[in-house]
Amino acid sequence: MYPRLCIDLGRLQHNAKSLLQLASPRGISIWGVTKVLCGAPAVGEALRAAGITTLADSRLDNLRKLPTAEKVLLRLPDPHQAESVVRYADWSLNSELTTLQALSQAAIAAGKRHKVLLMVDVGDLREGLWPDEVIPFVRQALGLPGIQIGGLGTNVTCYGGVLPDPTNLGVLVELATELKRLGLVECEVISGGNSSSLELLQQGKIPRGINNLRLGESIILGQETIARRPLPGLFTDAVMLQAVAIEVKEKPSLPIGTIGQDAFGNSPEFVDLGVRRRVILALGRQDVRLDGLLPLEPGVRVLGASSDHLLLDTSDYPEDVRVGQVFSFGLDYGALLAASTSPYVVKEFRKGGN
Ligand SMILES: *Cc1c(COP(=O)(O)O)cnc(C)c1O
Protein backbone atom coordinates (compact mmCIF):
# COMPACT_ATOMS: atom_id res chain seq x y z
CA MET A 1 0.00 0.00 0.00
CA TYR A 2 1.22 3.48 -0.93
CA PRO A 3 1.99 6.24 -0.12
CA ARG A 4 4.18 4.65 2.48
CA LEU A 5 6.47 6.09 5.12
CA CYS A 6 9.32 3.61 5.65
CA ILE A 7 10.99 3.83 9.04
CA ASP A 8 14.22 1.90 9.47
CA LEU A 9 14.35 0.97 13.13
CA GLY A 10 17.91 -0.35 12.96
CA ARG A 11 19.10 3.01 11.69
CA LEU A 12 17.18 4.89 14.35
CA GLN A 13 18.72 2.65 16.96
CA HIS A 14 22.18 3.29 15.52
CA ASN A 15 21.61 7.06 15.52
CA ALA A 16 20.41 7.04 19.12
CA LYS A 17 23.40 4.98 20.18
CA SER A 18 25.84 7.30 18.40
CA LEU A 19 24.33 10.33 20.12
CA LEU A 20 24.57 8.60 23.49
CA GLN A 21 28.24 7.96 22.78
CA LEU A 22 28.71 11.65 22.02
CA ALA A 23 26.82 12.90 25.07
CA SER A 24 27.61 10.39 27.83
CA PRO A 25 31.35 11.16 28.18
CA ARG A 26 30.39 14.79 28.78
CA GLY A 27 28.00 13.84 31.55
CA ILE A 28 24.93 14.56 29.46
CA SER A 29 21.90 12.26 29.41
CA ILE A 30 19.49 12.10 26.47
CA TRP A 31 15.73 12.15 26.53
CA GLY A 32 14.60 10.50 23.29
CA VAL A 33 11.88 12.58 21.63
CA THR A 34 9.37 10.57 19.57
CA LYS A 35 6.74 13.18 18.67
CA VAL A 36 7.48 13.53 14.94
CA LEU A 37 6.82 9.79 14.59
CA CYS A 38 3.67 10.08 16.72
CA GLY A 39 5.09 8.10 19.61
CA ALA A 40 5.13 4.88 17.58
CA PRO A 41 5.80 2.01 20.01
CA ALA A 42 8.34 0.43 17.62
CA VAL A 43 10.33 3.66 17.65
CA GLY A 44 10.24 3.76 21.44
CA GLU A 45 11.53 0.16 21.49
CA ALA A 46 14.37 1.06 19.14
CA LEU A 47 15.44 3.96 21.35
CA ARG A 48 15.22 1.78 24.45
CA ALA A 49 17.33 -0.87 22.71
CA ALA A 50 19.93 1.81 21.97
CA GLY A 51 20.21 2.53 25.68
CA ILE A 52 17.94 5.56 26.01
CA THR A 53 16.01 5.12 29.24
CA THR A 54 13.73 8.18 29.07
CA LEU A 55 11.20 8.79 26.28
CA ALA A 56 9.68 12.21 25.72
CA ASP A 57 6.71 13.29 23.63
CA SER A 58 4.50 16.34 23.32
CA ARG A 59 1.23 14.40 23.45
CA LEU A 60 -0.33 12.23 26.14
CA ASP A 61 -1.83 9.89 23.52
CA ASN A 62 1.68 9.13 22.34
CA LEU A 63 3.11 8.69 25.83
CA ARG A 64 0.37 6.20 26.61
CA LYS A 65 1.30 4.07 23.59
CA LEU A 66 5.06 4.13 24.12
CA PRO A 67 6.72 1.13 25.78
CA THR A 68 7.64 1.09 29.45
CA ALA A 69 10.28 3.69 30.24
CA GLU A 70 10.66 6.84 32.24
CA LYS A 71 8.33 9.22 30.35
CA VAL A 72 8.25 12.96 29.89
CA LEU A 73 5.43 15.17 28.64
CA LEU A 74 7.14 17.88 26.59
CA ARG A 75 4.28 20.25 25.93
CA LEU A 76 3.15 22.26 28.95
CA PRO A 77 0.20 20.32 30.41
CA ASP A 78 -3.42 21.35 29.98
CA PRO A 79 -4.53 21.67 33.64
CA HIS A 80 -7.82 19.90 32.80
CA GLN A 81 -5.78 16.81 31.97
CA ALA A 82 -3.75 16.71 35.16
CA GLU A 83 -5.03 13.24 36.01
CA SER A 84 -3.81 11.78 32.70
CA VAL A 85 -0.54 13.67 32.97
CA VAL A 86 0.39 12.05 36.26
CA ARG A 87 -0.82 8.71 35.01
CA TYR A 88 1.13 8.61 31.73
CA ALA A 89 4.13 10.82 32.45
CA ASP A 90 6.74 10.69 35.20
CA TRP A 91 7.86 14.21 34.33
CA SER A 92 6.27 17.21 32.70
CA LEU A 93 7.63 20.57 31.55
CA ASN A 94 5.97 23.45 33.39
CA SER A 95 5.82 27.20 33.79
CA GLU A 96 2.42 27.90 35.39
CA LEU A 97 1.50 27.66 39.07
CA THR A 98 -2.17 26.96 38.28
CA THR A 99 -1.11 23.86 36.38
CA LEU A 100 1.25 22.75 39.15
CA GLN A 101 -1.63 23.02 41.62
CA ALA A 102 -3.74 20.76 39.40
CA LEU A 103 -0.85 18.31 39.00
CA SER A 104 -0.28 18.32 42.75
CA GLN A 105 -3.89 17.35 43.44
CA ALA A 106 -3.84 14.68 40.74
CA ALA A 107 -0.58 13.23 42.03
CA ILE A 108 -1.88 13.02 45.58
CA ALA A 109 -5.09 11.36 44.38
CA ALA A 110 -3.03 8.82 42.43
CA GLY A 111 -0.60 8.26 45.29
CA LYS A 112 2.29 9.31 43.05
CA ARG A 113 5.07 11.83 42.98
CA HIS A 114 5.23 13.75 39.72
CA LYS A 115 8.46 15.41 38.65
CA VAL A 116 8.55 18.86 37.17
CA LEU A 117 11.10 20.36 34.82
CA LEU A 118 10.66 24.11 35.22
CA MET A 119 11.10 25.82 31.90
CA VAL A 120 13.10 29.02 31.72
CA ASP A 121 12.83 31.34 28.72
CA VAL A 122 16.30 32.56 27.86
CA GLY A 123 15.13 34.53 24.84
CA ASP A 124 13.45 32.29 22.24
CA LEU A 125 10.04 33.46 23.51
CA ARG A 126 8.24 30.17 23.43
CA GLU A 127 7.52 28.59 26.84
CA GLY A 128 9.13 29.32 30.15
CA LEU A 129 9.52 31.59 33.15
CA TRP A 130 11.62 34.69 32.84
CA PRO A 131 14.89 34.00 34.70
CA ASP A 132 14.17 36.46 37.53
CA GLU A 133 10.81 34.78 38.17
CA VAL A 134 12.32 31.37 38.83
CA ILE A 135 13.30 31.65 42.50
CA PRO A 136 10.00 33.19 43.70
CA PHE A 137 8.13 30.61 41.59
CA VAL A 138 10.07 27.74 43.13
CA ARG A 139 9.36 29.04 46.64
CA GLN A 140 5.64 28.83 45.88
CA ALA A 141 5.85 25.48 44.09
CA LEU A 142 7.70 23.89 47.00
CA GLY A 143 4.52 24.21 49.05
CA LEU A 144 2.68 21.83 46.74
CA PRO A 145 2.61 18.19 47.88
CA GLY A 146 2.87 15.34 45.35
CA ILE A 147 5.15 17.18 43.00
CA GLN A 148 8.89 17.45 43.00
CA ILE A 149 10.91 20.13 41.24
CA GLY A 150 13.28 17.85 39.36
CA GLY A 151 15.21 20.51 37.53
CA LEU A 152 15.35 23.32 35.04
CA GLY A 153 15.18 23.33 31.27
CA THR A 154 15.12 25.67 28.36
CA ASN A 155 14.00 25.51 24.78
CA VAL A 156 15.60 27.54 22.00
CA THR A 157 15.55 27.63 18.17
CA CYS A 158 11.82 26.90 18.20
CA TYR A 159 9.86 30.12 17.91
CA GLY A 160 12.47 32.86 17.83
CA GLY A 161 15.20 30.83 16.19
CA VAL A 162 17.54 31.92 19.00
CA LEU A 163 20.73 29.85 19.00
CA PRO A 164 21.92 28.12 22.15
CA ASP A 165 25.20 29.54 23.41
CA PRO A 166 27.33 29.37 26.56
CA THR A 167 25.69 32.57 27.86
CA ASN A 168 22.03 31.66 27.53
CA LEU A 169 22.59 28.05 28.65
CA GLY A 170 24.77 29.44 31.43
CA VAL A 171 21.68 31.21 32.79
CA LEU A 172 20.19 27.79 33.60
CA VAL A 173 23.29 26.63 35.39
CA GLU A 174 23.47 29.84 37.44
CA LEU A 175 19.83 29.50 38.45
CA ALA A 176 20.36 25.87 39.45
CA THR A 177 23.40 26.88 41.51
CA GLU A 178 21.39 29.60 43.21
CA LEU A 179 18.51 27.21 43.97
CA LYS A 180 20.99 24.88 45.63
CA ARG A 181 22.76 27.66 47.54
CA LEU A 182 19.44 28.83 48.94
CA GLY A 183 18.67 25.26 50.02
CA LEU A 184 15.54 25.19 47.85
CA VAL A 185 16.18 22.53 45.18
CA GLU A 186 18.97 20.21 44.10
CA CYS A 187 18.35 19.89 40.39
CA GLU A 188 18.51 16.33 39.12
CA VAL A 189 18.19 17.49 35.50
CA ILE A 190 19.46 20.68 33.90
CA SER A 191 18.25 20.36 30.34
CA GLY A 192 20.06 22.50 27.79
CA GLY A 193 17.74 22.26 24.83
CA ASN A 194 17.08 20.13 21.78
CA SER A 195 18.96 18.98 18.67
CA SER A 196 20.13 22.54 18.06
CA SER A 197 22.48 22.21 21.06
CA LEU A 198 24.49 19.42 19.43
CA GLU A 199 26.86 21.74 17.65
CA LEU A 200 27.87 23.25 21.01
CA LEU A 201 28.21 19.75 22.38
CA GLN A 202 30.52 18.72 19.53
CA GLN A 203 32.63 21.82 20.09
CA GLY A 204 32.81 21.17 23.83
CA LYS A 205 31.09 24.48 24.53
CA ILE A 206 28.10 23.33 26.55
CA PRO A 207 28.49 24.97 29.95
CA ARG A 208 29.46 22.63 32.77
CA GLY A 209 26.39 21.81 34.78
CA ILE A 210 24.09 21.17 31.82
CA ASN A 211 23.44 17.44 32.15
CA ASN A 212 20.64 16.67 29.69
CA LEU A 213 19.44 17.26 26.13
CA ARG A 214 16.07 16.40 24.63
CA LEU A 215 16.73 15.01 21.15
CA GLY A 216 14.25 14.24 18.38
CA GLU A 217 15.26 15.41 14.91
CA SER A 218 18.93 14.47 15.36
CA ILE A 219 18.00 10.87 16.17
CA ILE A 220 15.47 10.55 13.39
CA LEU A 221 17.05 12.58 10.57
CA GLY A 222 20.71 12.27 11.64
CA GLN A 223 21.37 16.01 11.58
CA GLU A 224 21.82 18.93 13.95
CA THR A 225 19.28 21.72 13.56
CA ILE A 226 21.21 24.98 13.30
CA ALA A 227 22.66 24.56 9.81
CA ARG A 228 21.02 21.15 9.36
CA ARG A 229 24.39 19.53 8.91
CA PRO A 230 24.54 15.74 8.92
CA LEU A 231 26.07 14.40 12.11
CA PRO A 232 29.16 12.26 11.51
CA GLY A 233 28.46 8.54 11.58
CA LEU A 234 24.67 8.92 11.71
CA PHE A 235 22.16 7.77 9.11
CA THR A 236 20.33 10.64 7.40
CA ASP A 237 18.06 8.18 5.59
CA ALA A 238 16.37 6.31 8.41
CA VAL A 239 13.01 7.51 7.09
CA MET A 240 11.77 7.80 3.51
CA LEU A 241 8.50 8.26 1.71
CA GLN A 242 7.39 6.16 -1.27
CA ALA A 243 4.62 6.80 -3.78
CA VAL A 244 3.40 5.29 -7.06
CA ALA A 245 3.32 6.70 -10.60
CA ILE A 246 -0.26 6.81 -11.91
CA GLU A 247 0.39 8.68 -15.17
CA VAL A 248 3.48 8.99 -17.38
CA LYS A 249 3.21 11.35 -20.38
CA GLU A 250 5.18 13.72 -22.53
CA LYS A 251 3.73 17.21 -22.04
CA PRO A 252 4.79 20.80 -22.69
CA SER A 253 6.23 22.69 -19.73
CA LEU A 254 3.98 25.71 -20.38
CA PRO A 255 0.26 25.33 -19.63
CA ILE A 256 -2.03 26.21 -22.55
CA GLY A 257 -4.61 28.98 -22.14
CA THR A 258 -4.99 32.02 -19.88
CA ILE A 259 -3.30 31.53 -16.49
CA GLY A 260 -5.50 32.33 -13.47
CA GLN A 261 -5.08 30.81 -10.03
CA ASP A 262 -4.09 27.27 -9.11
CA ALA A 263 -6.00 25.03 -6.67
CA PHE A 264 -4.54 26.90 -3.68
CA GLY A 265 -5.12 30.46 -4.88
CA ASN A 266 -1.55 31.05 -6.08
CA SER A 267 -0.78 32.50 -9.49
CA PRO A 268 1.78 30.09 -10.90
CA GLU A 269 4.58 31.07 -13.27
CA PHE A 270 6.26 28.71 -15.69
CA VAL A 271 9.50 28.51 -17.65
CA ASP A 272 9.35 27.02 -21.14
CA LEU A 273 11.66 24.01 -21.20
CA GLY A 274 9.91 22.44 -24.18
CA VAL A 275 8.22 19.06 -24.02
CA ARG A 276 9.12 17.12 -20.87
CA ARG A 277 8.41 13.67 -19.51
CA ARG A 278 6.01 14.21 -16.65
CA VAL A 279 4.89 11.75 -14.05
CA ILE A 280 1.93 12.00 -11.72
CA LEU A 281 2.34 10.30 -8.36
CA ALA A 282 -0.53 9.25 -6.14
CA LEU A 283 0.66 11.63 -3.44
CA GLY A 284 -0.44 15.13 -2.50
CA ARG A 285 -0.73 17.78 0.12
CA GLN A 286 -3.01 15.55 2.17
CA ASP A 287 -0.02 13.27 2.60
CA VAL A 288 3.05 15.45 2.79
CA ARG A 289 4.51 18.94 2.67
CA LEU A 290 5.80 19.61 -0.78
CA ASP A 291 8.78 21.78 0.16
CA GLY A 292 10.62 19.24 2.22
CA LEU A 293 10.62 16.39 -0.32
CA LEU A 294 13.96 15.29 -1.67
CA PRO A 295 13.75 12.87 -4.64
CA LEU A 296 16.10 9.93 -4.08
CA GLU A 297 16.15 8.78 -7.72
CA PRO A 298 18.51 10.72 -10.02
CA GLY A 299 17.17 13.20 -12.56
CA VAL A 300 13.82 13.64 -10.83
CA ARG A 301 12.43 17.07 -10.03
CA VAL A 302 9.26 17.95 -8.10
CA LEU A 303 7.13 20.40 -10.12
CA GLY A 304 4.25 20.89 -7.74
CA ALA A 305 1.32 19.22 -6.06
CA SER A 306 -2.35 19.59 -5.43
CA SER A 307 -4.21 17.80 -2.64
CA ASP A 308 -3.86 14.35 -4.20
CA HIS A 309 -1.51 14.61 -7.20
CA LEU A 310 2.22 15.23 -7.20
CA LEU A 311 3.86 16.19 -10.49
CA LEU A 312 7.39 15.16 -11.33
CA ASP A 313 9.62 16.08 -14.25
CA THR A 314 11.56 12.89 -14.98
CA SER A 315 13.06 13.90 -18.34
CA ASP A 316 16.57 13.54 -16.89
CA TYR A 317 15.89 10.21 -15.20
CA PRO A 318 18.21 7.74 -16.95
CA GLU A 319 15.66 5.00 -17.56
CA ASP A 320 12.10 4.49 -18.76
CA VAL A 321 9.34 5.22 -16.30
CA ARG A 322 6.29 2.97 -16.12
CA VAL A 323 2.88 3.45 -14.55
CA GLY A 324 2.98 1.63 -11.22
CA GLN A 325 6.63 2.45 -10.61
CA VAL A 326 7.53 3.45 -7.05
CA PHE A 327 9.46 6.67 -6.39
CA SER A 328 11.26 7.39 -3.11
CA PHE A 329 11.90 10.64 -1.26
CA GLY A 330 13.90 11.82 1.69
CA LEU A 331 12.08 14.25 3.98
CA ASP A 332 12.88 17.29 6.05
CA TYR A 333 11.28 17.74 9.47
CA GLY A 334 8.20 19.55 8.13
CA ALA A 335 7.55 16.99 5.42
CA LEU A 336 8.10 14.14 7.87
CA LEU A 337 5.69 15.70 10.35
CA ALA A 338 3.03 15.97 7.64
CA ALA A 339 3.55 12.41 6.35
CA SER A 340 3.73 10.97 9.82
CA THR A 341 0.49 12.60 10.96
CA SER A 342 -1.43 11.97 7.73
CA PRO A 343 -3.94 9.14 8.11
CA TYR A 344 -3.53 8.43 4.37
CA VAL A 345 0.13 7.47 4.65
CA VAL A 346 0.87 3.85 5.56
CA LYS A 347 3.65 3.50 8.14
CA GLU A 348 6.04 0.62 7.63
CA PHE A 349 8.58 -0.17 10.31
CA ARG A 350 11.56 -2.13 9.04
CA LYS A 351 14.07 -3.92 11.21
CA GLY A 352 16.76 -2.77 8.78
CA GLY A 353 20.06 -1.45 10.04
CA ASN A 354 22.99 -1.01 7.70
C1 LIG B 1 10.20 18.82 20.15
C2 LIG B 1 10.89 19.19 21.39
C3 LIG B 1 12.22 18.77 21.59
C4 LIG B 1 13.01 18.03 20.54
O5 LIG B 1 13.44 18.89 19.54
P6 LIG B 1 14.33 18.37 18.30
O7 LIG B 1 14.69 19.61 17.59
O8 LIG B 1 13.47 17.46 17.51
O9 LIG B 1 15.51 17.67 18.90
C10 LIG B 1 12.80 19.11 22.80
N11 LIG B 1 12.14 19.82 23.73
C12 LIG B 1 10.87 20.22 23.57
C13 LIG B 1 10.21 21.00 24.66
C14 LIG B 1 10.21 19.93 22.39
O15 LIG B 1 8.94 20.34 22.24
Q: Which atom of ligand 1 is nearest to the CA of 119?
A: 13
- The CB of 197 under 6 Å from ligand 1? The reply is no
Distance (Å, rounded) from C-alpha 225 to C-alpha 258? 43
Q: Could you tell me which residue, 265 or 218, shows the higher pLDDT?
A: 218
Atom of ligand 1 nearest to the CA of 213: 10
What percentage of the chain has pLDDT greater than the value 90?
Answer: 91
Count the alpha carbons within 13 Å of 158 in the hemisphere toward its beta carbon: 17
- Model confidence at 161, pLDDT cuts 50, 70, 90, reads confident
pLDDT for the residue numbered 354: 61
Q: What is the 334 CA–ligand 1 centroid distance (Å)? A: 13
Specify burial of residue 51 (Cβ count, 10 A radius: 0-12, 13-18, 19+). middle
Does residue 65 have an active-site annotation? no
- First CA to last CA across the chain, in angstroms? 24
Question: Does the pLDDT of residue 259 top 90, yes or no?
Answer: no
Cα–Cα dist 162/303, whole Å:
33
Assess whether pLDDT exceeds 80 at residue 87: yes
218 lines ligand 1 (CB under 6 A): yes
User: Within 13 Å and on the Cβ side, how many CA atoms surround 338?
Assistant: 18
Band of pLDDT at residue 160, cut at 50, 70 and 90 = confident
* pLDDT at residue 269 tops 90: no
**Measured torsion, CA atoms of residues 103, 45, 224, 217, in degrees rounded to the nearest 10:** -60
pTM across the whole model: 0.95
CA distances from 340 to 3, 183, 344 (A): 11, 45, 9
Over range 116-127, report the average pLDDT.
94
Within 10 Å of residue 183's Cβ, how many Cβ atoms? Answer: 7
pLDDT given at position 67: 97
| Res. 88: pLDDT tops 90 | yes
Percent of the chain having pLDDT more than 70? 99
- Confidence band for 170, pLDDT divided at 50, 70 and 90: very high
Q: Ligand 1 pocket test: which of 37, 120, 158 has the largest number of ligand atoms within 8 Å of its C-beta?
A: 158
Rounded-to-5 percentages of helix, strand, coil across the chain: 30, 25, 45
Residue 38, C-beta contacts closer than 8 angstroms, at least 6 positions apart: 59, 62, 340, 341
Asked whether the predicted pLDDT for residue 162 surpasses 70, the reply is yes
* CA pair distance 248, 276, nearest whole angstrom: 10
What is the pLDDT, as a whole number, of residue 268? 81
Cis peptide before 207 (omega within 30 of 0): no
- Please state the atom number of ligand 1 nearest to the C-alpha of residue 93: 13
Give yes or no for residue 35 CB within 6 A of ligand 1. Answer: yes
The reported pLDDT for the residue numbered 207 is 96
Catalytic residue among 35, 71, 180, 205: 35
Instruction: Give me ligand 1 centre to Cα 213, in Å.
Output: 9
Average pLDDT of 98-105?
Answer: 98
